[in-house]
């Protein structure tokens, strides 16, 4: 589709480029609205997608497990509903057989509430978002998304709103974290995926990845993947303020054979640069927000053991997971199909050691900002890599097929509900 970039849109880019606060995280969201009646404990939540659980681990140090949460306490009820509806059953099985690699997708993303008493979770196979009471494990509220699958989320800097991609309806819902009430929604390209709030909370970016579950993966068949674009909206009104089609930007720098399906992404601390991954590519790009162009390309090493058959790569990913050290000096990249993770110097784009990891699916930053934490979905563990040295420091076991890892909070005296 044509890219619209009016004076108003350029002012959005300028506003983002002038922002000097750090990108919002679950930690900053929780700190922005603390509960004065009790202390909070910083943790990492690890979503075990095929288990239907979330492990709560230390956010620094040895990253030891503190407890485990069942994120599908209503599984029997949900399954009864799905089996009673032929259309829902068809979609449920399609998700299991395609994106789920033969497994149900029970937890994709999660964020704790500012008071550390609840965690909000998107559940792809159940096409919903739920809030779980961390003390009891009970569901506070449930929001069924439009369509048949829930995906990536993002929490606003104040921790009071959460955006969730409804991937089969090309919609992003924005919910009140406390009540589950929808406060707004907006249309996206095909298969909305990653969501990112600007650090001032004024804008919400959504990346749509198009169709990733077909075998039409040859470069010349790229047109079959659908409408892939970045949609930027006003986070107060949900009015569209910008559409960025990376196809034109990639073509402009001679990368016509690269996919324009933007996957995980990370802003620089001043939000003047966006670093993003795309389908099928072992590397990432640097995009200058103000000038609206790709300024650098980083190609990372290929694992010679990785099949060259792109149809064997999970959901069109080659690399899936990128994060940035809080001071903006280093990036950390999950080389999903190449079975490694690596720290990259942002100034030179020189990669550090290739740390062996089994299908790493996500990358985030530890609570102290000193480590990159990647989920090894092929080995059921999370691994910490020191930003300073680029070397692995520790791995800890978690549940079946960990994917998203998010920084958050629980109550200081929290322990897992019975059975956790």
Domain containing residue 301: CATH number: 2.130.10.10
Range of the domain at 315: 7-411
Strand order in the sheet with 402-411: 65-70, 53-58, 40-48, 402-411
- Cβ–Cβ contacts within 10 Å for residue 116, how many? 23
Domain annotation covers residue 293: yes
Domain presence at residue 360:
yes
Please report the pLDDT score of residue 373 as a whole number.
98
In a domain, 383, yes or no: yes
The count of structural domains within the chain is 1
Residues of the chain under the 70 pLDDT cut:
1-38, 419-420
On whether residue 57 sits in a domain, the answer given is yes
User: Sign of torsion, CA 214 216 217 221?
Assistant: negative
Q: What was the pLDDT predicted at 99?
A: 85
The pLDDT score that the predictor gives to residue 214 is: 85
241 assigned to some structural domain:
yes
Q: Considering the domain boundaries, does residue 419 fall inside one? A: no
C-alpha atoms less than 13 angstroms from C-alpha of 39 in its C-beta half-sphere? 4
Q: Long-range contacts for 245-248 (Cβ within 8 Å, ≥24 apart)?
A: 245/1, 245/2, 245/3, 246/278, 246/287, 246/294, 248/3
**The pLDDT value given to residue 419:** 59
Q: Is 89 within a domain?
A: yes
Amino acid 213: pLDDT? 83
Q: Against a cut of 0.85, is the pTM above it?
A: yes
Kindly state whether residue 268 falls inside one of the protein's structural domains.
Answer: yes
């Amino acid at each position: 589709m044509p890219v619209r970039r009016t004076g108003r849109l350029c002012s959005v880019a300028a506003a983002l480029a002038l922002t000097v606060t750090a990108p919002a995280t679950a930690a900053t969201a929780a700190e922005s609205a603390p509960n004065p009646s009790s202390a909070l404990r910083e943790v990492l939540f690890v979503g075990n997608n095929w288990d239907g659980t979330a492990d709560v681990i230390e956010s620094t140090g040895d990253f030891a497990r503190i407890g485990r949460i069942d994120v599908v306490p209503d599984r029997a009820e949900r399954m009864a509903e799905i089996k009673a509806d032929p259309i829902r059953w068809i979609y449920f099985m399609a998700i299991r057989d395609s994106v789920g690699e033969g497994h149900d997708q029970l937890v994709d993303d999660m964020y704790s509430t500012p008071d550390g008493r609840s965690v909000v979770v998107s559940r792809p196979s159940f096409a919903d978002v739920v809030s779980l009471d961390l003390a009891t494990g009970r569901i506070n509220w449930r929001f069924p998304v439009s369509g048949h699958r829930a995906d990536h989320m993002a929490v606003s800097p104040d921790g009071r709103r959460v955006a969730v991609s409804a991937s089969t309806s090309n919609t992003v819902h924005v919910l009140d974290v406390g009540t589950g009430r929808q406060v707004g929604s907006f249309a996206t390209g095909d298969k909305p995926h990653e969501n990112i709030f600007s650090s001032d909370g004024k804008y919400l970016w959504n990346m749509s990845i198009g169709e990733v579950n077909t075998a039409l993966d040859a470069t010349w068949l790229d047109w079959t993947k659908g409408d892939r674009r970045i949609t930027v909206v006003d986070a107060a009104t949900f009015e569209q303020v910008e559409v960025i089609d990376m196809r034109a930007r990639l073509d402009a720098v001679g990368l016509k054979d690269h996919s324009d399906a933007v996957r995980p992404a990370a802003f620089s601390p001043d939000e003047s640069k966006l670093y993003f991954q795309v389908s099928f590519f072992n590397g990432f790009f640097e995009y200058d927000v103000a000038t609206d162009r790709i300024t650098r390309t980083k190609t990372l090493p290929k694992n010679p053991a990785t099949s060259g058959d792109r149809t064997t790569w999970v959901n069109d990913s080659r690399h899936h997971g990128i994060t940035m050290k809080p001071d903006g000096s280093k990036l950390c990249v999950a080389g999903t199909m190449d079975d490694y993770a690596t720290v990259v110097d942002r100034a030179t784009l020189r990669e550090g050691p290739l740390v062996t990891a089994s299908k790493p699916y996500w990358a985030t930053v530890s609570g102290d900002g000193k480590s990159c934490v990647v989920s090894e979905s092929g080995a059921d563990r999370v691994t910490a890599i020191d930003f300073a040295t680029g070397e692995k420091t520790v791995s800890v076991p978690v549940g079946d097929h960990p994917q998203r890892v998010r920084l958050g909070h629980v109550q200081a005296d929290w322990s897992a509900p019975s059975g956790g």
